[in-house]
Amino acid sequence: MVKRFFLSSSKLPHYISICCAIFILISCESNNQSDSNSVFRYNEHKNIGSLDPAFSKDNADIWATNQLFNGLVQMDDSLNVIPCIAKNWTVTDSATTYTFNLRNDVYFHKHELFGKDSTRTVTAQDFEYSLNRLQDKQVASPGSWVLNKVANFKAVNDTIFRIQLKQPFPAFLGLLTMKYCSVVPKEIVAHYGSDFRSNPIGTGPFKFKRWEENIKLVFRKNNLYFEMDTNGNQLPYLEAVAITFLPDKQSEFLQFAQGNIDYVSGLDASYKDEILTSKGELRDQYKTDVDIIRGPYLNTEYLAFYLDSEVSEIQSKLLRQAVNYGFDRHKMMTYLRNGIGIPANGGFIPKGLPGYNEQTGYSYQPEKAKQLIDDFKAETGITQPSITITTTSNYLSFCEYIQRELQKVGLQVNVDVIPAATLKDAKANGKLDMFRASWVADYPDAENYLSLYYSKNFAPNGPNYTHFKNELFDTWYEQAFTETNTKTREALYTKMDSLIMQDAPVVVMFYDEVVRFTRKNVNGLGINPINLLELKKVRKTTLQ
């Protein structure tokens, strides 16, 4: 079935030349494949910078290195930390000492530098080396911050690895699931040096085969992989993963629509109306060939007020609350996002994360917004209150929608569009009264979100861009660090989130969703709130 899709003529010559190169590579690869259904194909429009896990700082790199490397622990689709190379662990000494017991059947991918057997088992010494490398200033890994709360670590013997924290930190196991903390072999890294980025050797379900940068990347099945499925079958099921690098989302979607790739992530403006209705459902012409998977994403999209601003409107809680009540989030998501995304009637903690409470935030109440603005006018004597929202072009439509809605309740709104780099610098240095922002979790714990409101984290030295300060919040925030009972800590998180929303330093617009489109013959892909691409349990079947 050929799908309807339109490609602008200005992009056609560039697109054809790239597709020709990719077609040749795919053809050569398929000559070595007895079954095309054993290869999972996806496109990465944002080029991969490195296959060294110490540099896995964005999704493009993380998705690739996740197929090649493992760490002590990993996360399931429900954000539970589960065993990986560590088969179990204990936490002692008032939650500051973590002792990991390692499996003895995990092998590095084969390489001649390992000697006669071309491989060897992973030991605790390998983790000691890998974490030391992560901290090495000469390596300059962007993930070195992951170990900021670590006092020391050591290999007790070949199968026991111990980490000592400076202070209790309940989210620490979640940090260890990040690809930065993957195990790498010293002899291979020492041999390749900085070229390890393009000669990766790990322990993952797939092993590195070939990389022609900006054209194609190929992984092959690791026949020595240690994980099994629930029936005792060895993972992975696929024989190979093939990644192409078409440079824009429109071209990527065309390849998906024609069946040349198996998977597309996210909803881009160039094709959202082509594939989805305004209610977020697949259009009829795609239902027979395509599946859509949706789920919460740990990404909060919001507007922020700079509370140290000298502008009366920004300083007033009455007016900040009026903005929160003054627009319909559900309507905004229907018309601007085709129903993809969750209207934020809760707090700053996104849906899908322990601590979230849907009753914490604001609903659409235009009459209440009008009353709050009238109260502000009476209190301050300002008869024509106004605010300016600073944003980037990508979010202009959201800000213009809010602008129109707030003007209906008596608040003048101006929208200022600036480059992303300029906005990032200006918000960090307190130069904007009100601005659009988003926060994607570095690790799956609500503490990551609440850190934006801790008074000791004032920007530019931390992520508290609003300069929110509340002594009770600070007390609860510090208490959460020492609380080892999960339910008690979650309750603290909810109380903190509620306290923030009462003072309204932010306007939470929506919680994003992970959206995945797959061909009908792809099974077992799953979905998770950190949008991690996990391929070890994926199967492809032959369509009838």
Predicted confidence band at 249 (pLDDT cuts at 50, 70, 90)? confident
Give the separation between CA 510 and CA 87, rounded to whole angstroms: 38
pLDDT score of 452: 96
Q: What is the DSSP string of 396-412?
A: HHHHHHHHHHHHHTT-E
Q: What is the pLDDT of residue 247?
A: 86
Q: What is the pLDDT of residue 543?
A: 64
Pick from 292, 338, 290: nearest CA to 3: 290
Q: Residue 316 and residue 307: Cα distance in Å, rounded?
A: 9
51-89 pLDDT, tens digit per residue, is 999 999 888 999 999 999 999 999 998 888 999 999 999
For the chain, the average pLDDT equals 91
- Distance, CA of 413 to CA of 503 (rounded, Å): 21
Mean pLDDT over 511-538 rounds to 94
Question: How does pLDDT run across 372-428, given as a tens digit for each residue?
Answer: 999 999 999 999 999 999 999 989 999 999 999 999 999 999 999 999 889 999 999
* pLDDT tens digits for range 286-327: 999 999 999 889 999 999 999 999 999 999 999 999 999 999
pLDDT at residue 28 in the model? 45
Comparing 153-167, 318-332, 431-445, the range with the smallest average pLDDT is 431-445
Which candidate, 483, 450, 484, places its Cα nearest to that of 468? 450
Q: Is the pLDDT of residue 18 over 60?
A: no
Q: Which amino acid is at 256?
A: F
**Dist CA 444 CA 287 (whole Å):** 33
Tokens read off for 177: 């699931």
Euclidean distance between CA atoms 468 and 454, whole angstroms: 7
d(CA 88, CA 72): 9
Mean pLDDT of 94-113: 95
For every residue of 111-176, DSSP letters joined together read: -GGG-TTS--B--HHHHHHHHHHHH-TTTT-TTGGGGTTEEEEEEEETTEEEEEESS--TTHHHHH
- pLDDT tens-digit readout, 117-156: 899 999 999 999 999 999 999 999 999 989 999 999 999 9
pLDDT at 246 over 50: yes
For 30, 233, 237, 516, the CA distances from 38, given in Å and listed in that order, are 10, 16, 8, 20
Q: What is the mean pLDDT of residues 509-533?
A: 93
- For residue 2, pLDDT over 70 is answered with no
pLDDT score recorded for residue 270: 84
Counting DSSP H helices and E strands in the chain, the numbers are 16, 19
CA distance 527 to 365: 34
